């Protein structure tokens, strides 16, 4: 079966089911799971489907690509690798901040078994970590429906009452010139969490490295460690600025 034929069959299957795992697709097309993985990665690169952990889901053309769920599905494979590495930095007994970044949300699946305290402004993180070994502290303030997170002056005041061993944060862009955000409210939370943490980890897929956004809100020295799947000149410049970089492949 040619790739074009497999492509058509996979997309039709997802259109009918909404979501399917690799084993199901392999059985439906009578091909190997290795071939399915390769095909799904190629189709995800064309934005024809969303790659998930263990399979794929269809792209909904009627859903805004900026919604939280769609953002969480973008570059899913890279985000999972970044978060697996980040989870290795979290020890039993740690108190950690987790912001509302879509990459940070993917960290949840790798820390559910850890006896830690999580302080977060993210509603999806709270929901995901329910009934896990982690203790959850939800930051108070005004809820932003679009990114399903709590922001505002009350949220920042709440954050500043706590001390964390580590913070795991996401941003909209990073260059050697600084950190960037698409919202002043998100930037305020990021700065507050970083200031109240002994060590700050930035979880950032390649789509954010070298990118500038609406607001440059901090120097790169706000971050201790960047975990990313990106390499190259931008990364070298960040290292020269004193940022420790962990690259996942």
DSSP string, 110-171: GTTTS--EEEESBHHHHHHTTTSSSEEEEPPSEEETTTTEEESHHHHHHHTT--EEEEEE--
Report residue 181: phi and psi, to 5°: -140, 155
Indicate the SS3 state at residue 183: coil
Residue-level pLDDT, tens digit, the chain, 249 residues: 888 899 999 999 998 888 899 999 999 999 999 999 999 988 887 778 888 778 888 876 544 444 545 555 556 788 899 999 999 999 999 999 999 988 999 999 999 999 999 999 999 999 999 889 999 999 999 888 777 899 999 999 999 999 999 999 999 999 999 999 988 999 999 999 999 999 999 999 888 899 988 899 999 999 999 999 999 899 999 999 999 999 998
Contact by Cβ (8 Å): 51, 73: yes
> Residue 183, Cα to own-chain centre: how many angstroms?
17
- Cβ partners under 8 Å of residue 46, min gap 6: none
Distances (CA, A) of 175 to 37, 82, 237, 239, 244: 32, 19, 8, 11, 14
Terminal-to-terminal C-alpha distance of the chain: 30
Helix orientation angle between 3-17 and 22-29, rounded to the nearest 10 degrees: 120
Using DSSP bridges, classify how beta strands 225-228 and 95-98 pair: parallel, antiparallel or unpaired: unpaired
Tens digit of each residue's pLDDT (9 = 90 or more) over 147-176: 789 999 999 999 999 999 999 999 999 999
**pLDDT recorded at residue 189:** 95
- Cβ partners under 8 Å of residue 27, min gap 6: none
């Amino acid at each position: 079966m040619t790739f074009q034929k497999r492509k058509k069959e996979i997309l039709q299957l997802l259109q009918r089911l909404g979501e399917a795992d690799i084993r199901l697709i392999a059985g439906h097309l009578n091909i190997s799971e290795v071939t399915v993985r390769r095909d799904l990665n190629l189709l995800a690169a064309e934005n024809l489907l969303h790659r998930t952990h263990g399979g794929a889901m269809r792209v909904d053309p009627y859903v805004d690509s900026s919604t939280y769920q769609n953002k969480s599905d973008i570059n899913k494979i890279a985000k999972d690798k970044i978060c697996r590495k980040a989870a290795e930095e979290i020890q039993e007994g740690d108190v950690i901040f987790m912001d509302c970044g879509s990459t940070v949300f993917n960290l949840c699946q790798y820390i559910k078994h850890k006896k830690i305290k999580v302080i977060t402004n993210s509603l999806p993180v709270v929901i995901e970590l329910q009934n896990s070994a982690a203790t959850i502290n939800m930051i108070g303030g005004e809820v932003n429906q679009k990114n399903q997170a709590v922001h505002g002056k009350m949220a920042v005041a709440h954050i500043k009452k706590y001390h964390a061993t580590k913070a795991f944060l996401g941003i909209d862009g990073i260059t050697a010139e600084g950190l960037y955000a698409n919202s002043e409210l998100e930037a305020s939370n990021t700065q507050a969490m970083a200031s109240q943490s002994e060590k700050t980890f930035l979880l950032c897929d390649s789509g954010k490295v070298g990118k500038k956004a609406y607001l440059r809100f901090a120097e790169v020295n706000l971050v201790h460690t960047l975990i990313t799947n990106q390499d190259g000149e931008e990364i070298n410049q960040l290292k020269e600025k004193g940022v420790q970089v962990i690259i996942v492949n």
